[in-house]
Structure 1
Amino acid sequence: MTERISGEPGADSRDRGSGTLIRHSEFRTLWAAYAQSVLGDQLARVALSLLVFERTESAGWTAATYALTSLPALLSGVLLSGLADRFPRRTVMIGCDLVRAVLVGLMALPGTPLPLLAGLLVLAQLAEAPFGASQGALMPAVLGERLYEQGQRVMMITHQAGQLIGFAVGGVLVVWLGSHVSLGLNAATFLVSAVLIRLGVKARPVEEPAGAPPRRMHTQVRSAAVLIWSDPRLRSLVALGWLAGFIVLPEGLAAPFAQEAGASAASVGLLLAAHPAGMVLGAALLGRAGLDVERRRRLLGPMAVGANLPLVVYWAGPGVGVALLVLLVSGVFSVYQITAGATFVLLTPAGQRGQALGLARSGLTAMQGIGVAAGGLAAQLSGSSAQTIGGAGLVGTLCAVLVGVSWSRARGTSAGTIPLSA
């Protein structure tokens, strides 16, 4: 039996003749709101790190503050992403933006005590998960099935390019503008995003069956978890995403690896930028390759292996030049995450996409944190960052082979194949 991925009724046929994303005014609005928010977030991360270090002169407190820019997403991804299924998604996005604008604006006030600053930061980050879940669940309705993955590819390129720009000029801008002004600019980006979404995105009702009982938080979380676990395709796609826990390790060990390789501190920035640069290049190549959607899905397993296998080269103790090439190649193959994520969303019932996305992304964040923490401990015990990264590459490759086989089998189960015209 063949199951077709369902999207918004008529969306696919409506988009067949459009040919390009630029004709979608709603997507242009979502992209513009996202792009300037990404740049503002990068600026804020640097500003917070410098502000805390200036006040405390403690590397530990600085690192803890930086961790607060991502760790709250673990909690809100599970508990708050369901808001994207209970309320209109445009409304959730606007609400999250306004809340973050107020909270970050308070953080920008000079003299804000550090404990209050940390509390405001946690609250602001809690709003990230429902916003992201709403945006991800809304995109298929905006673009239709045919262009959805292409839209996700553009968003990923925007995110990675924003990281690259942040690595390159973020520190200089914060020094020039000052930490408080930089935080104020980030607050302004949330206001701009809210206005753009309010004016440029259509209001859509909540997607739920008629006569459905009121949704409760614990029921939503349990239903989404059961949905993912019971469908071998969704389970395999989540596992493919969580392989990022191995791939992120070189980022966490960039500084000790550079020292171990006898390179200068300036090379740390290059090591951090190499993988995002590879993903931007990979996304561009994927867009030009002309592969149909079914072929891209068949290649998920091999590409996941390709994202992990180059890291094994670290075992030989390469110099920074070789490591940069390895990370670039790993980044190119890591674009499989776009197809995996898009397929996951399209396979999830429209009324559960927000909560399911929240669970998947929370797990991804947790796996990345666990990967970096475990890698740091392993490097401390072994005395070698290079061998630790190489070992993670080997284990990641083996896991990618297993998950790739699982995905290949899941695509042919009674749950159905996934035909979708390119």
Structure 2
Amino acid sequence: MSGEPTARRGWLADVRPLRHADFRRLWIGQGVSFIGLQLTGVALALQVFEVTRSSLWVGLLGLASLVPLLVFGLYGGAVADAVDRRRLLLTGSLVSWGATLGLLLNTVTGLDNPVLMLVLAAVQATGFAFTSPTRGAIIPRLLPVELVPAANTLNFLVSSLGAAVGPLIGGVVLAGAGFEGAYAIDAVLFAVGLYAAVRLPPIPPAEGVGRPGLRSVIEGLRYLGGHPVVLMSFVVDICAMAFALPKALFPEVVAERFGGSPLAYGWLSAAIPIGSVIMGLFSGWIGRVSRQGLALTFVICLWGLVVAWAGAVSQLWLMVLLLAVGGAADLVSSVWRQTILQTHAPDEMRGRMQGVFIVVVAGGPRLGDLRAGAVATAAGVTASWVGGGLLCAAAVLAAGFAVPAFRRYRSEAAHPAR
């Protein structure tokens, strides 16, 4: 079709969703605040390791975040279906902001209490458990359905950009201003995301949605159980994050191989999102892939294999390069999985499906942190890193080919080039 926009037919990112002011503000706010969130993430992991000298304690940060994500993630999605989503986004954001201020206070007062750090990580995850499914459920209300895949790509792109820039800035900030500097910058940048939420229009629930509670959560899980394609999109992501994510191992690897350099730690932490950013800039083709079930299987298998390779090398530049390739694969899989949820689920179910999505997407890495730290303590950091990547590739192939509906799935949102 000759009138089809060039962005749609080309390889570059489709930026049409940014023409919508509400989405544009939300997108900018998410990107800026995510830089601060990443500053806090790298600072907290490194601070816990310096205080305890244990990768297991770093892994426990993942467990501390996983518990509230599991408890409140599904409930947060149910609430997002039953209340004004703008108001819920603001409330959850304030909870997360308070946790960042608590980490700053813990540091500047000299407490450096690792137990308190775990508690504050759990509080921050609680806020995230409400805001993230709410933000995902808002997008289809702000944009026409044909722009949802492009909007998801832009969201993952800006999040990846923040995840890349944040650790790199973090390495410099930690070397110059310490942990308190990182937490203070996060607290300031978070205000941009709050402003974007304030400017959103009211987004009331769909008619006929009941009060949030256990029954509504069960309804969401029942819906998920009856749709194997959606269910498998969660399963393969759990395999990717629980088995292959090596972030909890970065402090120990930096200490053993790179002399404890904060800059090396920053580069390792930024490597995966750097790859996601590069892929996001050339993502025009992602929405045109129709065989997304089969494609998801292979792209997550690629993620596992390159992560395993990265764990076996000792050169920083090669490790960063391989992790960046993994990050590119991760962005592609994230867009496809999010689009499957947003285009399949009806509006009255989107919050709950986004709640499950956040439990998996945010909870999977925490479970992966715990696995990585525990295995590293028992068998060594290299065995934990390389073995996890190989196990991911094997598990994803087995799971992907075990469900024919997932293997044969074709996306209704795909628009092949003509």
Instruction: State the TM bucket, normalised to the shorter chain.
Output: 0.7 to 0.9
Alignment partners' CA distance in 2, 1:96 and 1:299 = 34
Pairwise CA RMSD of aligned residues? 3.6
Contact conserved, 1:243 with 1:396, CA < 8 A, in 2?
Answer: yes
User: Is 1:203 the equivalent of 2:202?
Assistant: yes
* Residues 159-208 of structure 1, C-alpha deviations (whole Å, 9 max, x = no match): 22212222112243366567556545534444443333222x22222024
Larger Rg: 1
Q: Following TM superposition, by how much is the alpha carbon of 1:421 offset from its aligned partner in structure 2, in angstroms? A: 5.0
User: Is 1:152 the equivalent of 2:152?
Assistant: yes
Alignment partners' CA distance in 2, 1:23 and 1:259 = 46
Q: Following TM superposition, by how much is the alpha carbon of 1:43 offset from its aligned partner in structure 2, in angstroms? A: 3.3
Q: Given residue 143 of structure 2, which amino acid in structure 1 is its aligned partner? A: L
Give the match's secondary structure for 1:334: helix
Contact conserved, 1:296 with 1:339, CA < 8 A, in 2?
Answer: yes
Q: Which runs of 5+ in 2 are unaligned?
A: 1-7, 9-13
Q: Which residue in 1 is equivalent to 2:4?
A: none
Q: 1:178-189 counterparts in 2 under 5 A?
A: 183-189=183-189
Q: Following TM superposition, by how much is the alpha carbon of 1:319 offset from its aligned partner in structure 2, in angstroms? A: 4.4
Classify 1:241/1:121 alpha carbon distance in 2 versus 1 (closer, same or farther; 3 Å).
Answer: closer
Alignment partners' CA distance in 2, 1:317 and 1:393 = 14
1:219 to 185, 207, 215: 215
Q: Following TM superposition, by how much is the alpha carbon of 1:134 offset from its aligned partner in structure 2, in angstroms? A: 0.7
User: Is 1:131 the equivalent of 2:126?
Assistant: no
Q: Following TM superposition, by how much is the alpha carbon of 1:22 offset from its aligned partner in structure 2, in angstroms? A: 2.5
Q: Which residue in 1 is equivalent to 2:16?
A: 20
Contact conserved, 2:58 with 2:369, CA < 8 A, in 1?
Answer: no
User: Is 1:372 the equivalent of 2:397?
Assistant: no
Contact conserved, 1:43 with 1:174, CA < 8 A, in 2?
Answer: no
1:353 to 333, 339, 350: 350
Q: Given residue 194 of structure 1, which amino acid in structure 2 is its aligned partner? A: L
Q: Following TM superposition, by how much is the alpha carbon of 1:31 offset from its aligned partner in structure 2, in angstroms? A: 0.8
Alignment partners' CA distance in 1, 2:46 and 2:328 = 32
Contact conserved, 1:98 with 1:190, CA < 8 A, in 2?
Answer: no
Contact conserved, 2:82 with 2:212, CA < 8 A, in 1?
Answer: no
Alignment partners' CA distance in 1, 2:319 and 2:118 = 35
Contact conserved, 1:382 with 1:388, CA < 8 A, in 2?
Answer: yes
Alignment partners' CA distance in 2, 1:314 and 1:265 = 18
Contact conserved, 1:104 with 1:183, CA < 8 A, in 2?
Answer: yes
Name which of structure 1's ranges 275-284 and 73-82 shifts more when overlaid on structure 2.
73-82
Alignment partners' CA distance in 1, 2:83 and 2:110 = 34
Alignment partners' CA distance in 1, 2:299 and 2:175 = 40
User: Is 1:70 the equivalent of 2:65?
Assistant: yes
* Residues 86-134 of structure 1, C-alpha deviations (whole Å, 9 max, x = no match): 1011121122234444564566556497677765654343111111111
User: Is 1:333 the equivalent of 2:326?
Assistant: no
Alignment partners' CA distance in 2, 1:53 and 1:251 = 13
1:265 to 260, 263, 272: 260
TM-score by length of 2: 0.79
Classify 1:58/1:391 alpha carbon distance in 2 versus 1 (closer, same or farther; 3 Å).
Answer: closer
Q: Following TM superposition, by how much is the alpha carbon of 1:301 offset from its aligned partner in structure 2, in angstroms? A: 1.9
Give the match's secondary structure for 1:299: helix
Q: Which residue in 2 is equivalent to 1:85?
A: 81
**Percent of aligned pairs sharing the same letter:** 22
Q: Which residue in 2 is equivalent to 1:235?
A: 231
Alignment partners' CA distance in 2, 1:332 and 1:75 = 31
Classify 1:319/1:106 alpha carbon distance in 2 versus 1 (closer, same or farther; 3 Å).
Answer: closer
TM-score by length of 1: 0.79
